[in-house]
Amino acid sequence: MFKIQELRGVLPALATPLTRDGAVDEPAIQRLIEHVLAGGVHGLLPLGSTGETASLDEAARRKVLAAVVKAAAGRVPVICGVVQSQLASARADVNAAAELGAIAALVAPPYYYPIDQATVLAFYRNVAAGSPLPILVYNIPQNTKVVIEPATLATLAHEGTVVGVKDSSRDFDYFENVCVAMRDLPDFRILTGSDSMLFAALAMGGSGTICATANVAPGWVVRLFDAFERGDWAGARSHQDSIIQLASAIRTGVFPAGIKGALHLQGVCDPWPAAPVAALDEPAMSRLRERLAKWELLAATPLKP
């Protein structure tokens, strides 16, 4: 039985493989899960931002999570992303995540309308009330227009409403303040969503990462974590340098087209993002292919779109 309080390490923020017509590609989900598990990841996060959850309808979200849980087959824990602007919809997604086998839900605050911290508190308290799953906070203000202030997060954590946070703000001052606020709660999970901040986040006491590059090079991210855990900081810094370069390479096109393009070149899935986002064009794919080849991250036989 997986316990959220013990979660540490690397969780890929999973891409959602889709067919050209936008349908969920379940065989490709199976390939993706085997790909990341072969890299040694410690858990899985479907239906986050990289997973295009805000662009998928309810039926597609349920199909994705069911396919990920089935493919994981109990080998690692699955945490489900929940991004809803309506309280009832957020609750429904959390309940569905529990029914389909997730061990926790990573919940973003309501988006579209800017909200104050009192509303943030009320939202998470209402989601957590009667929730069948532990709740982690998803701080990604560039997408939601809402910063979950460290003091707000500390209030929710100390009252037992939430059990962790994924911080994707890329604001290291924010991350440090969260770590300081949680020093007396060693079971509280603090995960960075920034590929380029993992080494620094671990040094500050973070639990690990939920990140996009772990789709493409899961072993690279795991080796950084492992090097840090054994006290090899020079090695960890070197691995961080490599991840920064990879993250830069796959941040091309309209997100997450670069990630899907890389996975396509690796033979994992087709390159199609959810509509209306376009796949990378051939010049961009050629540049990406060249960089992945240099790093020996290409498949022997890429898929045909």
Enzyme catalytic residues: 138, 166
Contact (CB, 8 A) for 33 and 214: no
CB atoms within 10 A of CB 39: 19
